[in-house]
Structure 1
């Protein structure tokens, strides 16, 4: 991995959120970055370790359907402590964060209904990350949660120049399936087997799509895991809004561990 400090990582559970404790001293640097797409302002969050010398791989992170909030920023910090430059992008626009599922669905549908606009928002954030002086611009991956998982998969299908994408409890269905030779990214999907939003037939269709398109892909299904299994707030949100959401600490830890292995293999 380009210029990354070797680290021994110890995994702990603090409260509910999986956190990273690195043996090397980390000087975490974070800042918000405003950027423009189509005349609208979007606000992303950059995190990196200033103790890592030279350019390092970059990782984009796409938020859940609620919007860009604290959760994706925590994930960006975790990636930064691993030696990456992480940019939690914004797909909705500055200050658009839903406090109810109906509003979240409205925000999400506005993005998903316009494929070219969604791609423009993603690729502008990709450009912002690539322009950062600490980033190796040819070494970029993208992670997405829920709505964000669907976004990164769609960007891979569209042939966006990424080394790899990872979807966590994201929708797998599409009306624009991957075509042979078009997908540049390796693809990893972490899915809850008990997630009614992503039924087994959708998983099977996705696997068939990836196979037909000759994509380097893997799908991991976690028995008993529901939608939102990586987010410690999912269980409470599920109870509050009567949605099939639940945090699963085991699936969260395993998917994050496998993500580290995937990123290390991409950039070694």
Structure 2
């Protein structure tokens, strides 16, 4: 297997916030398909960097992005919620920061700008869906236990990506009603999409630390290795279908 190159990349959002992403890619003589990786509300921590590293091992360039600035992370739900809510205060913050990250990823010499995708976990799910809703040049979007709601529903013809939503059946933070509303939004906008409901899976099902965080914070998260594996398999199939062609 090719050696994996990693580096941190500093970039700036339109609001002036200094953001620091983590880039990983296999050594390659030809430009690679590339994936933006948006983190859970905990920030740009080891978990999202690990996901970027795995993508690189699968042959993709990957960029774990920073949504809070200065690669801040926390293990406290109250702090995570505060930082996340700050990104909601102005209507464009999330999309502007994600767009800046996508432009930074596209500018890397290893990256084929014609083959870009975005994945996100929890809050990061909302980030990549809102990025897609904004008309970004991404061919595929996948969310794991993502926040599906938005103030800017998809307009017909605007989303260029095929969308995959991986949702836990027992998720108490994003309800099955929320999922139904999201499906209706995608259908109304003629978006190619799939929603997979994963059995016995709670919010946070893809993160091995979900149970520890749930206990420490008194919140309803849970790790489910079967759901994690099924979700990752579906995501890699999506990327292969839309980025490898």
TM-score range, shorter chain: over 0.9
Secondary structure, counterpart of 2:92 in structure 1:
helix
Whether 1:48 aligns to 2:40 is: no
Secondary structure, counterpart of 1:115 in structure 2:
coil
Whether 1:177 aligns to 2:153 is: yes
Shift of 1:96: 1.9
Equivalent residue pairs, number: 243
Instruction: Please show how residues 56-95 of structure 1 align to structure 2 within 5 Å.
Output: 56-95=32-71
Shift of 1:234: 0.3
1:11 maps to what in 2?
none
Whether 1:254 aligns to 2:235 is: no
2:202 maps to what in 1?
226
Shift of 1:97: 1.3
Runs of at least 4 residues off by over 6 Å = none
> Hey, what's the Cα distance between the residues in 2 that align with 1:39 and 1:203?
34
Tell whether the 8 Å contact from 2:117 to 2:138 is kept in structure 1 after alignment: yes
Instruction: Please show how residues 3-18 of structure 1 align to structure 2 within 5 Å.
Output: none
Whether 1:211 aligns to 2:176 is: no
Whether 1:116 aligns to 2:92 is: yes
> Hey, what's the Cα distance between the residues in 2 that align with 1:243 and 1:264?
35
Shift of 1:40: 2.3
Secondary structure, counterpart of 2:81 in structure 1:
helix
Question: Can you list the C-alpha shifts for 1:112-171, whole angstroms capped at 9, x where unaligned?
Answer: 232312222111111111111110011100000000001111111121121111110011
Tell whether the 8 Å contact from 2:205 to 2:228 is kept in structure 1 after alignment: yes
> Hey, what's the Cα distance between the residues in 2 that align with 1:35 and 1:175?
26
> Hey, what's the Cα distance between the residues in 1 that align with 2:225 and 2:108?
33
2:82 maps to what in 1?
106
Instruction: Please show how residues 132-143 of structure 1 align to structure 2 within 5 Å.
Output: 132-143=108-119
Give ranges in structure 1 of 5+ residues lacking alignment.
1-24
Whether 1:126 aligns to 2:89 is: no
> Hey, what's the Cα distance between the residues in 2 that align with 1:28 and 1:242?
38
> Hey, what's the Cα distance between the residues in 2 that align with 1:152 and 1:125?
11
Question: Can you list the C-alpha shifts for 1:202-261, whole angstroms capped at 9, x where unaligned?
Answer: 111111111111000000001210000000000111111111101100000011011111
> Hey, what's the Cα distance between the residues in 2 that align with 1:44 and 1:165?
19
Shift of 1:95: 3.9
Q: CA RMSD in A?
A: 1.0
What TM-score does the superposition give when structure 1 sets the normalisation length?
0.88
Larger Rg computed on CA atoms: 1
Shift of 1:64: 0.4
Counterpart pick for 1:201 among 148, 172, 177: 177
